[in-house]
Chains A and B, each alone.
Chain A
């Protein structure tokens, strides 16, 4: 299975390059078609419930002064990816940058001057070839931990997520090759905050409720997002997301559920439309009498909330209500606000009640 996917990547890159060679042989001006990734080309797919990349494509010509350098750089990256895929090794995007950086001929110009030049071109290749970064064997930053009654096979090792002590399993940046050996969970709880994860882990919440507990540490990394998607897709695990009660926390939820604008092309792999929001909401603040722990929303929070009101994927009445509440009352709250009702309030009261009443936001 591993081999097969690598071959696919390698073949796609080969065909991509071969297409350019053909154009050169026919003495055409060689070009590559790259999907447009500006916001104008990001669409909300109502059917799929995810953000997708539109059909707009732009041509990158070698014989265009504005394109020539990027054209060359794109090929260099493609070639690098093909090499590491063929060798079945992985590289970080910074590794790649250093590996490809060299002076051109006897000029003072380098193939890449900054990593900021190579990073966006990786996404160009991803979108142009319909391959994910993971399939290109490029590693993004790893972030996120998981515990639960799950056994996986990773590079030959079987890892039991229930026997990893206090740390949990650190989610790799590429989870494509992870093989699920045994999954025994009724649902997965994804927590934005590491502190919340620590609390629930210590309280053995996942044992008591037979769930998978995942901490994203802020905006989830690609590996974490892919893992959530695979759990939901391959094992039909319900996904519940717990974030702060503010526009940023809610947006993290929407990224997990619907994908992000920056990676709209990968929504089919990274977004989990079945995910549901467990909390915190502004309504919770009132219902659970957390008024003492309220934080006043600043202008940036309000501005963000107003923007979100316009997003087509925030149009459910529940979400509109929460956003408007936040804007009207100018308040927000952190997950830790629940601790004002006792340190175990989250574990013993809040979550059990929510789960019991199935009080989720879409």
Chain B
């Protein structure tokens, strides 16, 4: 009997058990569950992202029903229901009940849930805080509905099915309903759930969203039937890969030689470039990637960074586009003028990215307040770490005085406006693991500023036009106010027809204060 010794398999298993539950516990702050307020927002965010992603991929105009209701003073029932494609019955447990930390780590695609634990993390958080399973109801439109109550077996990192039914009910529907009870705290502030939902509605105007919260129901109606194009997955560009990832790529590749590894696993590396990289590193291009030692890896990594390569393709990105942005702003903001600008794609450190900016101006927006900045990263609103974010910095560095807003120094401008910036990229460079602020690379700041300036110019010409119009109106009003006095007086002196004088002067007043049409 072996009492003290453990075999390798057992050890590995134990190690895994510890790592997954501990990983979550220790990294709650990185994963968006650091406090009850944030945790509630994160769950909502994961649910909404999941639904939007599923609908978009299936090219379905999303309809999302979200419920957040308190069950006790510190617990909430969170429910989301969508009209997405639904999930295959047998795939539900694996998809929602098995943690694959960093599963999207290599994936170079612009997606909402770029990193992190997604819905699975929410399932785990629910079970950790309330001990209750997550309820899943789904159908793919085949007349059958799946019912699951699911937990995660943390030790095995496997789904734990509490109950399961797969019923042929003949209902022709497709979609997914998730429901769970979690510990949380609800706030209605700039970083709260309602603001998040509002910003989601602005950035996803093709979605119908109903939010039934503790304070009642809010409806965000769809503003456009246009879906943005699907982003495409690309292979990483050598300039954007970090050493650790490069090392893992060498391990995981199915390519047989270093040369084909470079050509197959990266974008923009052809036969000549691959040979060049190997040559500079002093490595035989024919050796197997798996045989490369630590020292050689570093040599290859350095020479790869120095290679002259084309910039990565940018058609893999899916910006919202000007018309979708405008529709989002118009439907949720009671402004009077809207402008939206989509910049051409650019590249930072081998990653393609694209900046879009929108401005809503005037109307019912408050006159003398710092403008509100809506920050979107791959269409998802960023709610925290405003001050660290490249978007905030770029807004502050833009000279808004040239665009008819007030601004003192390098502060947020003041005036009746809301500024929205969308940063789309295959890989968003966050400043920290909590992924709420975009890193301030100079090229990123520059692109954001260019987008803001263009949107600002359009706003300015509107404001100036409006001011001119108002001035003309004011002039006309003045003339029109005096016309009866003048007509009356002239009539008194000369006995000329008062109405005729009045009519002639009124006609002239319109003429001299009207828009001048040239040509």
Q: How far is the CA of A232 from the CA of B504 in the complex (A)?
A: 51
Min CB gap B166→A, angstroms? 75
Interface check B490, CB cutoff 8 A: yes
> Are B486 and A25 in contact (CB-based, < 8 A)?
no
Q: How far is the CA of A13 from the CA of B508 in the complex (A)?
A: 24
Q: Does residue B509 face the partner (Cβ distance < 8 Å to A)? A: yes
A25: which B residues are within 8 A, CB to CB? 500, 504
Q: Which of B203-211, B224-232, B474-482 contacts A (4 or more CB under 8 A)?
A: B474-482
Contact of A65 with B by CB under 8 A = yes
In the assembled complex, the CB of A127 is this many whole angstroms from the nearest CB of chain B, namely 19
Proximity string of chain A (49-92) to chain B, C-beta cutoff 8 Å, 1 when within and 0 when not:
00000000000001101001101100110110011000000000
Q: How far is the CA of A20 from the CA of B490 in the complex (A)?
A: 8
Q: Do A76 and B489 form a contact, CB below 8 Å, given A63-B479, A63-B509, A65-B475?
A: yes
**Do the beta carbons of A76 and B485 come within 8 Å of each other?**
yes
Say which size band chain B's interface belongs to.
20 to 34
Q: Kindly state the separation between the CA atoms of A171 and B490 in the bound complex, as whole angstroms.
A: 36
Residue of B nearest to A16 (CB): B493
B494 touches A18 (CB 8 A): yes
Verify B482–A27 contact, CB threshold 8 A.
no
**B489 lies within 8 A of A68 (CB):** no
A79 contacts which chain B residues (CB < 8 A)? 489, 492-493
Q: How far is the CA of A30 from the CA of B483 in the complex (A)?
A: 12
A29/B508 contact (C-beta < 8 A), A62-B479, A71-B486, A107-B481 known: yes
Query: Contact at A29–B512, with CB atoms within 8 Å?
Result: yes
Instruction: State how many angstroms separate the Cβ of A151 from the closest Cβ of chain B.
Output: 39
- Nearest CB on A from B481, distance (A): 6
CB pair B505 A62 closer than 8 Å:
yes
**CB of A156 closer than 8 Å to a CB of B:** no
- What residue of chain B has the Cβ atom nearest to residue A82's Cβ? B493
Please indicate the chain A residues that have their CB under 8 angstroms from the CB of B507 in the complex.
Answer: 27
Chain B residue nearest in CB terms to A30: B505
Q: Given contacts A24-B501, A27-B507, are A104 and B482 in contact (CB under 8 A)?
A: yes
A21 at the A/B interface (Cβ < 8 Å)?
yes
Nearest residue in B to A13 (C-beta to C-beta)? B493
Give bound CA distance, A25 to B491, whole Å. 13
A109 to B489, CA, bound (A): 17
Given A13-B493, A18-B494, A68-B479, A63:B512 Cβ within 8 A: yes
CA distance A315 to B174 in the complex (A): 107
Contacts of B508 in A (CB 8 A): 24, 27, 29, 63
Contacts of B485 in A (CB 8 A): 72, 75-76, 104, 111
Rounded to whole angstroms, the CA-CA distance of A29 and B500 in the bound complex is: 15
A164 within 8 A of B: no
Cα–Cα distance between A257 and B507 once the two chains are bound (Å): 51
Contact, CB under 8 Å: B482 / A69: yes
With A29-B512, A65-B475 already in contact, the answer to whether A14 and B493 are too (CB < 8 A) is: yes
Which residue in A27, A68, A78, A109 is a CB contact (below 8 Å) of B493? A78
Q: Let me know if B478 and A68 touch, CB within 8 A.
A: yes
B496 at the interface (CB under 8 A from A): yes
Which among A14, A30, A75 has the greatest number of chain B C-beta atoms within 10 A? A75
User: Which residue of the partner chain A has the closest CB to B513?
Assistant: A63
Smallest CB-CB separation from B502: which chain A residue? A24
B486 partner residues in chain A, CB cutoff 8 A: 62, 71-72, 75
Q: How many A-B contacts are there with CB distance less than 8 Å?
A: 72
Q: Is B192 an interface residue (CB 8 A)?
A: no
Q: Are B501 and A62 in contact, CB atoms less than 8 angstroms apart?
A: no
**Interface size of A in residues (CB-CB distance below 8 Å):** 29
B113 contacts chain A at the CB level, 8 A cutoff: no
Q: Are A24 and B504 in contact (CB under 8 A)?
A: yes
- Report chain B residues within 8 Å CB of A109: 481
Compute how far the CA of A268 lies from the CA of B343 in the bound complex, rounded to whole angstroms. Answer: 76
- Report if A295 contacts B (CB, 8 A): no
User: B416 to nearest A CB, angstroms?
Assistant: 26
Q: Which residues of B contact A18 (CB under 8 A)?
A: 493-494, 496
Is B70 an interface residue, CB under 8 A from the partner? no
Q: Chain A contacts of B504 at CB under 8 A? A: 24-25, 27
Distance in Å: Cβ of B498 to nearest Cβ of chain A:
11
Q: Is B484 on the interface with A (CB-CB < 8 A)?
A: yes
- Most A CB atoms within 10 A — which of B478, B489, B496, B508? B489
- Interface check A17, CB cutoff 8 A: yes
Q: Return B474 CB to nearest CB of chain A, in Å.
A: 8
Say yes or no: B481 contacts A24, CB within 8 Å.
no
Point out the residue from B475, B478, B479, B494 that lies within 8 Å of A17, measured CB to CB: B494
> How near does chain A come to B379, taking the closest CB pair, in angstroms?
49
Closest to A75 in B: B489
List B contacts of A165 (CB < 8 A): none
Which residues of the partner chain B approach A69 to less than 8 Å between Cβ atoms? 478, 482
- Report the minimal beta-carbon distance from B177 to chain A, rounded to whole angstroms: 61
Contact B512 A104 (CB under 8 A): no
For residue A29, which residues in chain B have a CB less than 8 angstroms away from its CB? Answer: 508, 512
In the assembled complex, the Cα of A69 lies from the Cα of B486 at a distance in Å of 10
**Bound complex: CA A141 to CA B484 (Å):** 33
Contact check, B496 vs A21: say whether CB atoms are below 8 A apart.
Answer: yes
| Contact with A68, one of B482, B494, B496, B500 (Cβ below 8 angstroms) | B482
Closest Cβ–Cβ distance, residue A320 to chain B (whole Å): 50
C-alpha gap A72/B481 in the complex (Å): 10
Residues of A within 8 A of B481 (CB): 104-105, 107, 109
State in angstroms the CA–CA spacing of A18 and B491 once bound together: 10
Q: How far is the CB of A40 from chain B (nearest CB, A)?
A: 29
**Nearest residue, chain A, Cβ from B492:** A79
* Interchain CA distance A63-B476 in the complex, whole Å: 9
Residue of B nearest to A83 (CB): B492
Return chain A residues, CB-CB under 8 Å to B479: 62-63, 68
Residues of B within 8 A of A (CB): 475, 478-479, 481-482, 484-486, 489-490, 492-494, 496, 500-501, 504-505, 507-509, 512
Given contacts A62-B505, A69-B482, 14 further A-B contacts (CB under 8 A): A17-B494, A18-B494, A20-B490, A21-B496, A24-B505, A25-B500, A27-B508, A68-B478, A72-B485, A75-B490, A78-B493, A104-B481, A107-B481, A109-B481
**A-B pairs with beta carbons under 8 Å apart, 27 shown:** A14-B493, A14-B494, A24-B508, A25-B500, A25-B504, A27-B504, A27-B507, A27-B508, A29-B508, A29-B512, A62-B479, A62-B482, A62-B505, A65-B475, A65-B478, A69-B482, A71-B486, A72-B485, A72-B489, A75-B490, A76-B485, A78-B493, A79-B492, A82-B493, A104-B485, A105-B481, A105-B484
Question: Closest 5 CB pairs between A and B?
Answer: A17-B493, A75-B489, A72-B482, A79-B489, A63-B512
